[in-house]
Structure 1
Amino acid sequence: MAEIRLEHVSKRWGSFVGVNDFDLTIADREFLVLLGPSGCGKTTTMRMIAGLEDATEGNIVIGDRVVNDLDPKDRDVAMVFQSYGLYPNMNVYENIRFPLKVRKVDPASHDERVMRAAEMVELTEFLHRKPAELSGGQRQRVALARAIVREPTVFLMDEPLSNLDAKLRVSTRAQIKNLQHELKVTTIYVTHDQIEAMTLADRVVVMNKGVVQQVGTPTEIYDNPANTFVAGFIGSPAMNLMEGEVTQGTFRGRNVEIAGIEAPDGPVTLGFRAEDATLAEGGAGQITAPIYTLELLGDATMISVRAGGALVAVKAHKEFRAEIGDTVSIAIPPGICHVFDTQSGARLDISSGARVA
């Protein structure tokens, strides 16, 4: 049983608050991703779970034990870092085996456990090599195998893919997801990459400035962001956000007017996703403006225009061709729109205007 409970956990250094009142239960075998920009508190949260940082307030419970006063070695967690942390003088076999020697595991079981871990990450043919002879992706797989061989209660992964190139990130991401499924170990994964979060997580915790902004499945967070921070952080591209004012059901901003918005009169921030809007024929859309930029993505063409005081993106079909400066019209049905309070950033219920907690 490896349920983890963070009970109103905070971390402060003097007057600086790194993490504020983090309160969450992570289910046994769950893959939880802590997501947010640099400095948001996600790595600090992980380090408190690992025992590398002391919590200023609150309890950290792993299984049925409060672990606040336990040393890292006694918490039964295995960490995989952004820097691989391999011993350059040891070959791959010895690097993977090292945690077993340190923990004084029965030497008779070492070979079987090392080979099993190496096989899981497809390293069996590299066991005799030193880290300097490996690629970045192979070194990261050694670090994964070293964590696996421990057979820990919890995996903690701190931006393990950041040093890999784009192609390796995709393949290693798939490997991590498959490993977690096979091993059935509770995993907490830190990243600033929202694509990693959306593809790996059972649930995502979005953080900003030490505060949890939203917790939910990737689908919940993508479809119903709790506030403008989450809306502007999740998605590639992020949600289009435009400031304006609603009057009698019509949103008006700079170069944009959308009827049928069921929100209370007053200033709001309106959002919609690029893939939910379409190009309209003959200037029939709610935004008509010259093209600011074009990006060919392979499966689609991304078009950006300036409207509502912001850059607004829409996805067109991959065969669409135009030039920068050509005028396009974007159709934005009111049903695809999200409405947020301009001052607080909190999401409004589009049907009633009530804030969503």
Structure 2
Amino acid sequence: MARLQLKNVHKRWGAYVGVDDFDLDIADQEFLVLLGPSGCGKSTTMRMIAGLEDVTEGEIWLGDRMVNKLEPKDRDISMVFQSYGLYPNLTVYENIRFPLRVRKVPKEQHHEMVMRAIEMVELKDFMDRRPAELSGGQRQRVALGRAIVRKPTVFLMDEPLSNLDAKLRVSTRAQIKNLQSKLKTTTVYVTHDQIEAMTLADRVVVMNKGRIQQVGTPTEIYDNPANTFVASFIGSPAMNLVEGRLADGVFTSEGIRVEGLRRDVTADVTLGFRAEDSVIAATGGQIAAPIYSIELLGEASMISWRLGGSLISVRAPKDFRAEIGETICASVPAEICHLFDTASGQRLA
């Protein structure tokens, strides 16, 4: 049983608050991703779980044990770092074997355990090489093999793909997802890359300034962001956000007018909608403004406008043709729109 609980966890250095009232229950075998910008507290949270940082306040439970005071080596947790952390003088085989030697696992068990890990990370043909003879992706797979060799209760992964190029990130991401499904080990994964979070996670924890902004499945967070921060952080491109006025069910702002919205609210609001939910219209759309930019993405074109200081994007067919500065329209139906309170940033219920 590898249920992991963080109960009102805080981390402070003097007056600086790194993590503020982090409260979360992580289920056995769950793949949980901590997502947020640099400095949001996600790596600090992971380091407290690992025992590399002391908890200022609150409790961390692994199964039926509170582990706040336990040394890292006593928590039965394996961690994969961004920097690989391999021993350059050891072969792949010996690097993966090293945790077994440190933990004094009986030597007669080593070979079977190491070979099992090597086969899982697909490095059998490279097990006699040293790290300098490997590619970045292969080195990261050695680090993964070293983490899984002793079958820990929990995996912690701190931005393990950030040193890899785009193509390697895709293939290694798929391998991590496949490994976790086979191993069925509770995993906490830290990243600032929302594509990694959306593709890997059972649940995503979006963090900002040390606090949890929203917890949910990738679909829940994408479809129903709790506030403008989550809306602006999730999605590629991020959700379009336009500040304006809502009255009598009509939202108005520079270059955009959307009817059929809530009639019970009269306030300054922020209207949100996804680029893929709106379409280019010949005439009569809710947006009418000069084109700011056109980007060909391969499968589609991205059309952007400048509206009220915001950059607004809408997907168009890949064969769409127009000139920058040409005024065109886009359809933004009321049913695809999200409303947020402009002052607080919170979603309007």
- TM-score of the superposed pair, with normalisation by structure 2: 0.99
- Report the alpha carbon displacement of residue 178 of structure 1 after superposing the two structures with TM: 0.3
Aligned to 1:354: none
Distance 1:328 1:93 in 2: 61
Distance 1:227 1:94 in 2: 48
Distance 2:94 2:43 in 1: 28
Helix, strand or coil: the match of 1:110?
A: helix
Distance 1:110 1:304 in 2: 58
Helix, strand or coil: the match of 1:28?
A: coil
Distance 1:296 1:110 in 2: 53
Helix, strand or coil: the match of 2:45?
A: helix
1:221-263 superposed Cα distances (whole Å, 9 cap, x missing partner): 0000000000000000000000000111110111111111115
Q: Does 1:336 align with 2:331?
A: no
Aligned to 2:54: 54
- Report the alpha carbon displacement of residue 329 of structure 1 after superposing the two structures with TM: 0.3
Unaligned runs of 5+ in 1: 350-357
Aligned to 2:288: 288
Distance 2:122 2:325 in 1: 51
Distance 2:11 2:150 in 1: 29
Distance 2:179 2:308 in 1: 45
1:180-215 superposed Cα distances (whole Å, 9 cap, x missing partner): 000000000000000000000000000000000000
1:302-321 map, 5 Å = 302-321=302-321
Distance 1:104 1:321 in 2: 67
Q: CA RMSD in A?
A: 0.7
Helix, strand or coil: the match of 1:207?
A: strand
Aligned to 1:158: 158
Helix, strand or coil: the match of 2:291?
A: strand
Aligned to 1:355: none
Distance 1:324 1:99 in 2: 59
Unaligned runs of 5+ in 2: none
Distance 1:326 1:85 in 2: 53
Q: Does 1:17 align with 2:17?
A: yes
How many residues align structurally? 348
Aligned to 2:252: 252
Q: Does 1:174 align with 2:180?
A: no
1:16-165 map, 5 Å = 16-165=16-165
- TM-score of the superposed pair, with normalisation by structure 1: 0.97
Aligned to 2:273: 272
**Aligned AA for 1:71?**
E
**Aligned AA for 1:280?**
A
Distance 2:273 2:309 in 1: 15
- Superposition misfits of 4+ residues, deviation over 6 angstroms: none
Aligned to 1:300: 300
Contact in 2 for aligned 1:254/1:309 (Cα 8 Å): no
**Aligned AA for 1:5?**
Q
Distance 1:348 1:150 in 2: 48
Distance 2:328 2:76 in 1: 58
Distance 2:39 2:111 in 1: 41
- Report the alpha carbon displacement of residue 321 of structure 1 after superposing the two structures with TM: 1.8
Contact in 2 for aligned 1:256/1:308 (Cα 8 Å): no
1:246-287 superposed Cα distances (whole Å, 9 cap, x missing partner): 1111101111111111150110011000000011113x1011
Aligned to 1:352: none
Helix, strand or coil: the match of 1:178?
A: helix
**Percent identity over paired residues:** 72
1:329-353 superposed Cα distances (whole Å, 9 cap, x missing partner): 011001100000001000002xxxx
Distance 1:243 1:261 in 2: 15
Helix, strand or coil: the match of 1:348?
A: coil
**Aligned AA for 2:135?**
S
**Aligned AA for 2:286?**
Q
Moved more, 306-315 or 93-102: 306-315
- Report the alpha carbon displacement of residue 295 of structure 1 after superposing the two structures with TM: 1.1
Distance 2:286 2:250 in 1: 11
Distance 2:280 2:17 in 1: 45
Distance 2:107 2:294 in 1: 60
Aligned to 1:5: 5
Distance 2:185 2:108 in 1: 24
**Aligned AA for 1:126?**
F
Distance 1:214 1:183 in 2: 27
1:133-153 superposed Cα distances (whole Å, 9 cap, x missing partner): 000000000000000102100
